[in-house]
Amino acid sequence: MKKVTLLLLTLFGVCLLQACHGNNDNSDTDDDTTAAIADTTNNNATIIVGKDDAKFVTTIAQACLAEIKIGTMAKQKGKDKRIKNFGAMMVKDLTKGKGRLIALAKSKKIALPDSISTEDRQSIANLDKKEGKDFDTAYLDKTREDYKRALDLFTTTSKTAYDPQIKAFAMQNILTIQRHLDLIDAIDDSVK
C-alpha cells in the first residue's frame, strides 16, 4: 500500500514537471493574487485559494495528462521490456494520482484543464517520431527532466503554499517523485 501511495505521488510529480514544461498560461495579466471561490459545503463560507496554489494544481493536472500519454507511448513503442513496464506503471499510477488531484481541485473549486498544452503536444509528437532504442533513450531523458522539474516544484510548493491542503499534497508526493527519479536512473543505467 505504501509503495502504491509513493508511486502515485511520483506520478503527480511527473505530471507537475510536464505541466511546468508546457505551461503557456498568460494569467500574469491579472494583478489579483488570490481568487475567492464559493464553498458549496457551507453556504456562508468562502475559500480563498492563492493564485500560486491554484496554478500549482492546474499545472500538475496538465502534466498528468501529458505523462499518461507519454507512458502509453512507452508501453507501446518501448523496445526494452523495462521501458514498457515503467510506462505501464506510470499510466497506472498517474491515473490514480490524477483522481486524488481532481478531488483536491474539486474541494477548492479549481477548474482543471482537460487537454494537453500545445508545447507538450509538440514534445509528445517529437518523441513519437523516435523508434527502438532511440525512443527508449529519449523517453528516459524526457521523463528524467520532467521529474527533476516536478521535484523542484513540489519542494517549493511544500514550503510556500498558502493553502494547508495543497501544501500537504505537495509534501506527501516529494518522496514518491524522488523514488521514481531514482527508478528512471536505475533503468537508464541498466539499458545502456
Return the sign of the alpha-carbon dihedral for residues 16, 89, 77, 185. positive
Whether residue 72 is contained in a domain is answered as yes
Q: Is residue 108 a part of any domain in this protein? A: no
In a domain, 50, yes or no: no
Q: Tell me if 109 is assigned to some domain.
A: no
* Number of domains, the chain: 1
Mean pLDDT of 166-189: 93
In sequence order, the β-bridge partners of residue 37 are 47
pLDDT tens, position by position, 11-69? 455 444 444 444 444 444 333 333 444 334 444 455 678 999 999 999 999 999 999 99
Could you tell me which of 103, 99, 109 has the C-alpha nearest to residue 40? Answer: 109
**pLDDT, tens digit (0-9, with 9 covering 90-100), for 80-107:** 999 999 999 999 988 988 999 999 999 9
pTM here is: 0.73
Measure the CA–CA gap between 7 and 177, rounded to whole angstroms: 8
Which domain, by its residues, includes 170?
2-28+60-103+114-191
Q: Does any domain span residue 162?
A: yes
CA distances from 89 to 95, 108, 137 (A): 10, 29, 18
β-bridge partners, 38? 46
The predicted structure's pLDDT at residue 36? 40
Q: How far apart are CA 115 and CA 113, in angstroms?
A: 6
In a domain, 51, yes or no: no
CATH assignment at residue 177: 1.20.1260
Q: Please name the residues in contact with 187: beta carbons below 8 A apart, sequence gap of 6 or more.
A: 82, 83, 86, 140
